[in-house]
Amino acid sequence: MSTLAERLVDATTGALELFTIHLGRELDLYTELADGPLTYPELAERAGIAPRYAREWLEQQAVAGLLTASSDEAAQARRYGIPEEHRAVLLDPEDPSHVAPLADLVAGIAAVLGELPDAYRTGGGIPFSAYGSALRRGQGGINRPLFRHELPDWLAAMPDVGERLASKPIARIADLGFGEGWSTIALARAYPGAYVDGYDTDQASVAAAQRHAAEAGVGDRVTFQVADASGLAGPYDLVFVFEALHDMAHPAQVLTAVRAALAEGGTVLVADERVADTFTAPGDGVERLMYGWSVNHCLPASMSEVDSAALGTVLRRGTVHELAAKAGFAVTELAPHNDFFRFYRLDSAQ
């Protein structure tokens, strides 16, 4: 078998296993296994699923090396459990190694695969909402640990901004394209004296974010609204745009509106993909991953809007600098390193 053929077979196995992880998350099967190993009849009863499906899913998970299985010969007596080294990946939503939400992202893309060919033929798009709750939850879940653990370091790279926010009687922050609200919540935690306004165009995301903020205990300082950048109610001391600029159909107009909504001396922090500076084929793992998201989701979602800039996921740094300059910003690239994201500080050009 050729190298490419082997690669495609392995990719097929990986894709199918991601779907089974999504299934386990959707049905709370990993949660039911969190307290200890179960037999398939026990899992079926606890999770409220058919025993035959419970058996097949558990066997598949064990064969894939995701779960452990006891050596009992009788299928009904065999016990399945989550190995300690897999618990954070599968169960802990704030652990840095919790990448299980990637399975939800892939499942969300699978939901619209039948619509993509028509979009490609017509030049149309597929709205974000069409990708469903799986993609929305997956996006929020995969970034939640980053905001919890790494956001303080990103903000620390702008010490003057921190001092400004701490010294103001009422500091105001805007978070654009917040998804399920984990970035907004992290900003509220990082700046306990600040009020944070979240703006997103997806109603379901806003509802989820409101629930998460209340559970996190920051609901009194955080607001969420269904609106785009044209609805920014400044002045803001800091505007945060995390992994959202490349999704915007009209990014130059958004940045122009953001600049108008800034308080005097206000700052914008943009975080977007750490892709190569120029197109090179074949690309590295990050480039491959980002083009995969772009072809199947980010570009079609952006092109669902009229006169879209159609940036796609692969937002190269030169494009960010160009968009910022058009909106009247000077750009400084910040030092914090992340394998997937690059950080840009935007200040009004004098």
Same domain? For 81 and 207 the reply is no
Same domain? For 177 and 263 the reply is yes
- Count the residues in the chain: 350
**What are the backbone angles phi and psi of residue 199, rounded to the nearest 5°?**
-125, 125
Is 101 within the bounds of a domain? no
pLDDT along the chain (350 residues), means of 10: 92 98 98 97 98 98 98 92 98 97 98 97 97 96 96 94 90 96 96 95 96 96 92 93 96 96 96 96 97 98 97 98 97 93 92
CA distance 216 to 220: 10
Give residue 169's pLDDT: 87
Same domain? For 122 and 76 the reply is no
Is 107 within the bounds of a domain? no
Ramachandran class of 218: left when φ > 0, alpha when ψ lies in -120 to 50, beta otherwise: alpha
Give residue 319's pLDDT: 98
Look at residues 89, 124, 155 and tell me which one is the last residue of a structural domain. 89
Same domain? For 145 and 53 the reply is no
- What CATH number is attached to the domain comprising 124? 3.40.50.150
Is 199 within the bounds of a domain? yes
Same domain? For 80 and 123 the reply is no
**Can you give the residue range of the structural domain that contains 207?**
116-348
Per-residue model confidence as pLDDT tens digits over 30-76:
999 999 999 999 999 999 999 999 999 999 999 999 999 999 889 99
Q: Omega of the bond prior to 159 within 30 degrees of 0, cis?
A: no
Same domain? For 59 and 134 the reply is no
Give residue 350's pLDDT: 66
Taking the model in full, what pTM does it have?
Answer: 0.94
Is 7 within the bounds of a domain? yes
CA-nearest of 85, 81, 84, 83 to 72 is 81
Is 284 within the bounds of a domain? yes
Same domain? For 145 and 238 the reply is yes
Q: Total domain count for the chain? A: 2
Question: Cα dist. 291→196, 254, 285, 299 in Å?
Answer: 32, 24, 10, 10
- What CATH number is attached to the domain comprising 9? 1.10.10.10
> Whose structure tokens read 């926010």?
165
Query: β-strands 171-176, 194-200: how paired?
Result: parallel
CA distance 222 to 226: 14
Same domain? For 54 and 131 the reply is no
What is the full DSSP assignment across 218-232? -TTTEEEEE--GGG-
Is 100 within the bounds of a domain? no
Same domain? For 169 and 53 the reply is no
Per-residue model confidence as pLDDT tens digits over 147-173:
999 999 999 999 999 999 988 888 999
Same domain? For 139 and 237 the reply is yes
Is 109 within the bounds of a domain? no
Is 106 within the bounds of a domain? no
